[in-house]
Chains A and B, each alone.
Chain A
Amino acid sequence: MAAITATARKASAPGVLTRPAARKLLALALVAAILVPLATARWASGSWPEALTVDASGPLAGASDWIIDNRDSHPLFLYFFGHVSNLVVVTVRAVYLALLAVGWAGVTALAGLVAWRVAGIRLALGTAVAFLACGLLGMWVPTMQTLALMVVAVTASVVVGALLGLAAGLSDRMDRVLRPVLDTMQVLPAFAYLLPVVLIFGIGVPAAVLATVVYAAPPMARLTALGLRGADKEVLEAVESLGTTARQRLLTARIPLARRELLLGLNQTIMMALSMAVIASVIGAGGLGDRVYQALASVDVGAALAAGIPIVLLAVVLDRVTGAAGANLGQAPRPRTHWLYVVVGAAVVAAAGRLTARLEWPDGWVVSLVEPVNRAVGWMTDHLYSGVPVIGGTADWAARFTTWVLDPIRDGLQWLPWWSVLLVVATLAWLIGTWRTALTAVLAMAAIGVLGVWNPSLDTLSQVLAAVAVTLVVGFATGIAAARSDRVDRLLRPVLDVFQTMPQFVYLIPVVALFGVGRAPAVAAAVVYALPAVVRITAQGLRQVDPAALESARSLGATSAQQLRQVQLPLARPALLLAVNQGVVLVLAVVIIGGMVGGGALGYDVVFGLAQGDLATGLVAGAAIVCLGLMLDRVTQPTERRAKKGA
């Protein structure tokens, strides 16, 4: 039956309508033809109509005030949030004091020995050097503060994530409920999580830790569920055939079989926790992130760099050591250092440090970067900012980029009638995805208007669009080059590896040094942050094109340009779409953070709200960020949901 009607429709429809894209466009045009005249007749205005906004800031301010007033008296806070808050403060403090008590030598030795046990001698040396470098830069104490926060946040994230993942892995219903939530959480910028926690816990360490947990637990949950669900069916059947109970199956087979995913989840959780722990300096995390934040606020690039380098070192070390633990799984068990040696070794070094009374990093061993870096930045400001013959200066570039690219896009977006923006969103989302994604995208965009932050959101959107355009042009070109030449690939790989592990926040430091503050530097940071993922996904996609298809094209005498255009790019289309999606998500995250270095718009509203204690403004901006993230993700979402984050 179905087949007959389908063919009949196909035969009777005009040629254009046989393409699904054309059918979707026609349907959308019909809807628009009815709704747009109605909308313009009632609310004729370029920007989002006043009549359709709901002022959320009043009630939000009320809620915020109520929470601040009742924080010390309401039972919910007294008996729940209060305990959570105290527990977090006490554990972070305890870990911090323990790290200080072990002393710099003890911590370095412990880290090195753990790395040795897990990942071998080379990474152990690297780890030790990284920790010593933190001390040398005079950042030992902030590093320990960040580390203490990380230890607590990662532990909590792993526990929460693993439990959620276990639930989703074992129960289909939980999986259906959790999956869309986790998927969405993964595309939201870190900044969106800050305000709600601050609302409840106030600015301070508990808020920072909890925001980090909320941000870092999803990858653990997703990968745990993925690992439990992806286990080899025949192994599980064999295990069942031996008469195992469900519990035995879980403990002796399913969890061990998911070890690779669990370790990957741990790795991603640690990296996201570090990223967030640094950003959470805005809400009182302290430590390295706070140093960067303070330094950026006063445009002190030297101080920012001195704190930024330890962040990068920490990120690289944590990533490589946990990554190596996962990579070693499939290989032959080689004789490894026993854990006992690790503990004893670290204890001996710590005791030696204690006996020689050298717990604190000696002041004489600090090499200050601040002066020379600031001198270099000063020189750059004087010589490179502007007036360089022919090419102009970096500040000139930034200014020109702002005037010629960012301003026209922003003004153009804000000039567009509000309904046409919704229409464009609907069209894009429907063409790439399904009507469901289109509906979500339109509703998210409309919610932004209703919240009354239409114009700042379009400002943010204009920065995102500019940054995405640059990222995609550069990223696709580099990706194609890397896919076609092994040498380029080899050269790029270590660079991409390092760039992909660095927390978002760190990218702001060099762009401020080069371009000063403003919207252009925010865009530049976003491009640099998103570029590695786009390059990597593009190159991988092109390289994974079926070699047989490529070979047959070659055998027909296709030139390499023809091969690229007619075989590789079409076949790599899913990868390219994924690259666009990832590019958009990553760019948005940094454009928002760019609010701290003059990017303005939504990111600035969040920072401003936090700084002024005006939580209502911040919360509205945070909600708009969520909506914007949702909309951008859905608009670039290929129909099939990707299995996991490509970055």
Chain B
Amino acid sequence: MSTTADTADHTPVFSVDGLWKVFGPKADRIPGDPELAALGPAELRARTGCTAAVRDVGFDVRKGEVFVVMGLSGSGKSTLVRCLTRLIEPTAGTIAIDGEDVRAMDKARLRALRRHRAAMVFQHFGLLPHRTVLDNVAYGLQIQGVGKNERRERAAEVVAKVGLAGLEQRRPAQLSGGQRQRVGLARALVVDPEVLLFDEPFSALDPLIRRDMQEEVVRLHREEGRTMVFITHDLGEALKLGDRIALMRDGRVVQLGTPEEIVGSPADDYVRAFVRDVPREQVMTVRTAMRPAASAEEAGSGPAVRPDATVSEAIEAVARAGGPARVLDGGRCLGVVDSEALLDVVAGVTAGGRAAGGAPGSKSPGEAPAGLRVPAALATTGEEPV
């Protein structure tokens, strides 16, 4: 999550623009026809018998970031990720990997892309039941024509890296769900791909195992800094892993932004309803609650927090010190946060002249604790829609 800012201006790994995937008879005509393209899912099906799984989607995946595509089932997210390596052939639009047009690739170039540049992890693992763990992991290398000894050696390293050492000779049927997905992860890692694609990899796992696996992914990303595209329907997972999140509904991206932007400034009611129950203090950073230091004294004393620290971390610091905390970036004081500003963030009410998501009146009662002070002046100035 820390790499976003440093690499923001490099060429994107994946660059997707105007992407459509329509299933059904004569699907080609729909993206080009503005009238048909504007129809809702039910109308489109009634008129043409087609289903548009992905509608006019565009985004860039930056190098080194974890790009999360999230949406409910049927929102088209799994279709979208399959379009990236043309496991599903897109209907219209452009996809480029490092500036190279994926849709124009011939079979051999496409195979090379799948072999070396983008590896995928699947929801139901997709392991070969007749092979051992080691041979499943080595499978991608075998496909590339790597010799038996070398591929087993490399596979064994990756197996150890994902924490499966000692299980090399087991069959997939003898493993637990979490272990199987570690095999799936190792199989994708062993080919050393430029980008890892995850298709709801942990949805089929128990909650505790899921958390372990999420931490495994965070750890891998921290250690290797590999670009990842991560599909999920779990908002918590998206917020936890994503540097940026694209939220999909009915085939369209309804909002694209950092977790903080999604939670702090939902683009529409759908997103707002989606993020309503998110514990904001764990997503929002102190930047949101920060105000300029009122005096040199304030800027020079008090506990220090990083600018990307979460509000909940700042609350702890402020509560322990009993006074405002300074936001320090490499020794330079960017501003201060005090308990009032932090509470405003938790409550989801506007603070510091910025809108943190709609008028207080539109909040559900559960979100704004009773008796919380809402400064009338601030509330009115912050009513501009985001």
Interface residues of B in 143-178 (CB under 8 A from A): 143-144, 171, 173-174
Q: What's the least CB distance linking A308 to chain B, in Å?
A: 40
Contact check: which of A239, A241, A245, A257 meets B130 at CB < 8 Å? A257
In the assembled complex, the Cα of A248 lies from the Cα of B141 at a distance in Å of 12
B119 contacts A by Cβ under 8 Å: yes
A62 within 8 A of B: no
Q: Could you say which residues of chain A place their CB within 8 Å of the CB of B173? A: 330
Residues in B neighbouring A259, C-beta threshold 8 A: 130
Q: How far is the CA of A237 from the CA of B86 in the complex (A)?
A: 11
Q: How far is the CA of A596 from the CA of B294 in the complex (A)?
A: 111
Contact A253 B128, beta carbon cutoff 8 Å: yes
The residue of chain A having its C-beta at the shortest distance from the C-beta of B173 within the complex is: A330
Interface check B87, CB cutoff 8 A: yes
B259 within 8 Å of A (CB atoms)? no
Interface stretch among B33-41, B59-67, B106-114?
A: B106-114
Q: Are B130 and A243 in contact (CB under 8 A)?
A: no
Q: Complex Cα distance A234/B128, Å?
A: 10
* A240–B87 CA distance with the chains assembled, in angstroms: 7
Q: Say yes or no for A562: interface residue by CB 8 A criterion.
A: no
Give the contacting residue for A237; candidates B126, B140, B143; CB below 8 A: B126
Q: Are A257 and B126 in contact (CB under 8 A)?
A: no
**Structural contact, A241 and B120, CB atoms closer than 8 A:** yes
Q: For the complex, is A294 an interface residue (Cβ under 8 Å from B)?
A: no
Indicate if B49 sits at the interface (CB-CB under 8 A).
no
Distance between Cα atoms of A503 and B144 in the complex (Å): 49
Q: Return B88 CB to nearest CB of chain A, in Å.
A: 9
Q: Using known A-B contacts A252-B139, A330-B173, A332-B171, determine if residue A239 contacts B129 with beta carbons closer than 8 Å.
A: no
- Is B171 in contact with A333, judged by CB distance below 8 angstroms? yes
User: In this assembly, does B142 line the interface, its C-beta being within 8 Å of a C-beta of chain A?
Assistant: yes
The reply to whether B114 and A238 contact each other, CB–CB distance below 8 Å, is no
| CB <8 Å contact, A241 and B85 | yes
State whether A234 touches B129 (Cβ < 8 A): no
Identify the closest chain B residue to A238 (Cβ). Answer: B126
Q: Does B210 count as interface, using CB distance less than 8 angstroms?
A: no
Flag whether B127 is at the interface (Cβ < 8 A).
yes
Q: Please tell me if the beta carbons of B174 and A242 are within 8 angstroms of each other in the complex.
A: no
Interface presence of A235 (CB below 8 A): yes
Closest to B118 in A: A241
Asked if residues A242 and B139 are in contact (CB atoms below 8 Å), the reply is: yes
A339 to B143, CA, bound (A): 28
Does A256 make an interface contact (CB < 8 A)? yes
Q: Are A235 and B127 in contact (CB under 8 A)?
A: yes
Residue contact A256 to B128, C-beta cutoff 8 Å: yes
Asked whether A243 and B129 contact (CB < 8 A) given A238-B120, A238-B122, A248-B143, the answer is no
Interface positions of A from 512 to 534, Cβ below 8 Å from B? none
Chain A stretch 315-340: residues in CB contact (< 8 A) with chain B: 329-330, 332-333
List residues of chain A with CB within 8 A of the CB of B82.
237
Q: Hey, which chain A residues are within 8 Å of B187, CB to CB? A: 242
Query: In the docked arrangement, what's the CA distance between A244 and B142, Å?
Result: 10
Chain B hits for A330, CB < 8 A: 129, 173
Task: For B142, give its contact among A232, A235, A252, A329 (CB under 8 Å).
Answer: A252
Docked CA distance A232–B113 (Å): 24
Tell me which residues across on chain A come within 8 A of B85, comparing CB atoms: 241
Distance from B55 Cβ to chain A, minimum over Cβ atoms (Å): 23
Q: From residue B89, how far is it (CB to closest CB) to chain A in Å?
A: 12
Complex Cα distance, B140 from A242, in Å, reads 6
Check A244–B120 contact: CB distance below 8 A. no
Residues in B whose Cβ lies below 8 Å from that of A256: 128, 130
> Nearest Cβ in chain A — how far from B190, in angstroms?
10
Query: Which residues in A have their C-beta under 8 angstroms from that of B112?
Result: 243
Contacts of B197 in A (CB 8 A): 241
A residues within 8 A CB of B140? 242-243
Is the C-beta of B191 less than 8 angstroms from some C-beta in chain A?
yes
Query: Which of B110, B111, B128 lies in contact with A257, CB distance below 8 A?
Result: B128
Q: Does chain A have a CB within 8 A of B221?
A: no
B272 within 8 A of A: no
A242 in contact with B129 (CB, 8 Å): no
Whose C-beta in chain B lies nearest to the C-beta of A330? B173
Asked whether B115 is an interface residue with its Cβ less than 8 Å from the other chain, the reply is: yes
If the complex has contacts A234-B123, A248-B143, A330-B173, are A241 and B114 also in contact, measured as CB distance less than 8 A?
Answer: yes
Q: Which residue of A lies closest to B141 (CB)?
A: A242
Q: Which of A238-266 contact B (CB under 8 A)?
A: 238-245, 248, 252-253, 256-257, 259
A329 contacts which chain B residues (CB < 8 A)? Answer: 130
Cα distance A235–B171 when bound, in Å?
Answer: 15
Docked pose: A461 CA to B329 CA in angstroms: 95
Given contacts A248-B143, A252-B139, A332-B171, contact A241 B87 (CB under 8 A): yes
Closest partner residue, chain B, to A240 (CB atom) = B87
Interface residue? B354 (CB, 8 A): no
One of A241, A244, A245, A257 near B119 (C-beta < 8 A): A241
Bound: A235/B130 CA distance, A? 12
Task: Kindly state whether residue B287 has any CB partner on chain A within 8 Å.
Answer: no
A234, A242, A333: the one contacting B143 at CB < 8 Å is: A242
Nearest-Cβ distance from residue A260 to partner chain B, whole angstroms: 10
Q: How far is the CB of B155 from chain A (nearest CB, A)?
A: 13
Most buried by B among A234, A238, A252: A238
- Docked complex Cα distance between A345 and B174 (Å): 33
Kindly state whether residue B306 has any CB partner on chain A within 8 Å: no
Instruction: Report the minimum CB–CB distance from A268 to chain B (whole Å).
Output: 21
B226 within 8 A of A: no
Is B276 part of the contact surface with A, judged by Cβ < 8 Å?
no
Task: Give every chain B residue within 8 A of A253 (Cβ-Cβ).
Answer: 128
Task: Give the contacting residue for B87; candidates A237, A245, A248, A333; CB below 8 A.
Answer: A237
A257 to B128, CA, bound (A): 8
Are A234 and B124 in contact, with the CB atoms below 8 A?
yes
**B191: nearest chain-A partner, CB-CB:** A242
Distance between A47 CB and nearest chain B CB, rounded to angstroms: 53
Contact mask for chain A residues 122-135; partner B; CB cutoff 8 A; 1 contact, 0 none: 00000000000000
A239 to B120, CA, bound (A): 10
Tell whether, in the assembled complex, residue B111 and residue A235 are in contact, meaning their CB atoms are under 8 Å apart.
no
Separation of A238 and B185 alpha carbons in the complex (Å) = 12
* Chain A minimum-CB-distance residue to B131: A256
Output the least CB separation between A310 and chain B (Å).
36
- B122–A234 touching, CB < 8 Å: yes
State A329–B127 Cα separation when bound (angstroms). Answer: 16
Q: Are A239 and B111 in contact (CB under 8 A)?
A: no
Whether B122 contacts A237 by the Cβ 8 Å rule is yes
Residue of B nearest to A241 (CB): B120
Chain B residues in 8 Å Cβ range of A240: 87, 114
CA distance A441 to B197 in the complex (A): 55
Rounded to whole angstroms, the CA-CA distance of A343 and B386 in the bound complex is 79
Whole-angstrom distance between the Cβ of B364 and the nearest chain A Cβ: 38
In the complex, A257 Cα to B131 Cα: how many Å? 10
Taking CB atoms, residues of chain B closer than 8 Å to A248 are 143
In the complex, the chain B residue whose C-beta lies closest to that of A235 is: B126
Give, as a whole number of angstroms, the nearest-CB distance from A329 to chain B. Answer: 8
Say yes or no: A243 contacts B120, CB within 8 Å. no
Query: Which single member of A242, A252, A257, A332 contacts B115 (CB below 8 Å)?
Result: A242
Q: Which chain A positions have C-beta within 8 A of B119?
A: 241-242
A237 — which chain B residues lie within 8 A by C-beta? Answer: 82, 87, 122, 126
Which residues of the other chain, A, contact B191 by a CB distance below 8 angstroms? Answer: 242
Residues in chain A near residue B127, CB distance under 8 A: 235, 238
Q: How far is the CA of A242 from the CA of B128 in the complex (A)?
A: 13
Asked, given contacts A235-B128, A237-B87, whether A243 binds B115 with beta carbons under 8 Å apart, the answer is: yes
Sample of 10 further A-B pairs with CB below 8 A, known A238-B126, A242-B114: A237-B126, A239-B128, A241-B85, A241-B120, A242-B115, A242-B191, A243-B113, A244-B111, A253-B128, A257-B130
Interface residue ranges, B against A (CB under 8 Å): 82, 85, 87, 110-116, 119-120, 122-130, 139-140, 142-144, 171, 173-174, 184, 187, 191, 197
Chosen A-B contacts, 30 in total, with CB atoms closer than 8 Å, are A232-B126, A234-B122, A234-B123, A235-B129, A237-B87, A237-B122, A238-B120, A238-B122, A239-B139, A240-B87, A240-B114, A241-B87, A241-B197, A242-B119, A242-B139, A242-B140, A242-B143, A243-B110, A243-B111, A243-B113, A243-B114, A243-B115, A244-B111, A252-B139, A252-B142, A253-B128, A256-B128, A257-B128, A329-B130, A333-B171
